[in-house]
Amino acid sequence: MRLTLFDLDGTLLPLDSDHAFGEFMVHLGWADGQAFRQRNQQFFEQYQAGQLDIHAYVDFATQPWRERAAPELAQASQRFMAEVVHPALRDSALALVREHAQAGDELVVVTATNEFITAPIVAALGVPSLIATELARDASGRVSGAIHGVPAFRHGKVTRVQQWLAARGQARADFERITFYSDSTNDLALLEWATHAVATNPGPELARMAHERGWPIVKLFE
């Protein structure tokens, strides 16, 4: 058996869907433009620097929408997909997913971005399974601003993949090959856990590490 794992933002998508959804909240008028955009950018820069407090970020990022009614949220998600995500999908990324699917690999997207944003994106990419940061909900089912369980971020991605496998009665040793595609040094723990790491659209630091370790480098887009 072969398992192929994909990061999402910057790897299969030429954008950061979490950051982009924040911008979309401003576009909808759900968030104060200047103040929200400035704080959103600060969190994004912290992520790029490997210094993000993901719990603080999730509380901030969900605040503009978590009190809204389900039909309104569903409509916003559909618009985000139509206006932002679908125009950003690249044939090269879709072809990579198809290649692994046709080879019979088990496919999973593993992303720090929450499942509300990413579930429709992963479906559009044709990947059947998603491991994302899960949002805690109150007794009425509303998002609380907290994270449920282990966030799928940094070493937490390894933990969440191991939990996902265990729930299926599987373990790392059951697979002859585990490939992980990622663009970010935030994913170093999962890149090292996989049997085959692929630096995908990497930044300078990950590209340097890939050269040192002999990991292949793939560029799906600029």
Catalytic positions, written as ranges: 7, 9
CB 125 within 8 A of CB 109: yes
Give me 7's structure tokens.
């990061």
Cα(86)–Cα(201) distance, rounded to whole angstroms? 19
33: left (phi over 0), alpha (psi -120 to 50) or beta: alpha
Give me 172's structure tokens.
């790392």
In Å, how far from its chain's centre is CA 57? 14
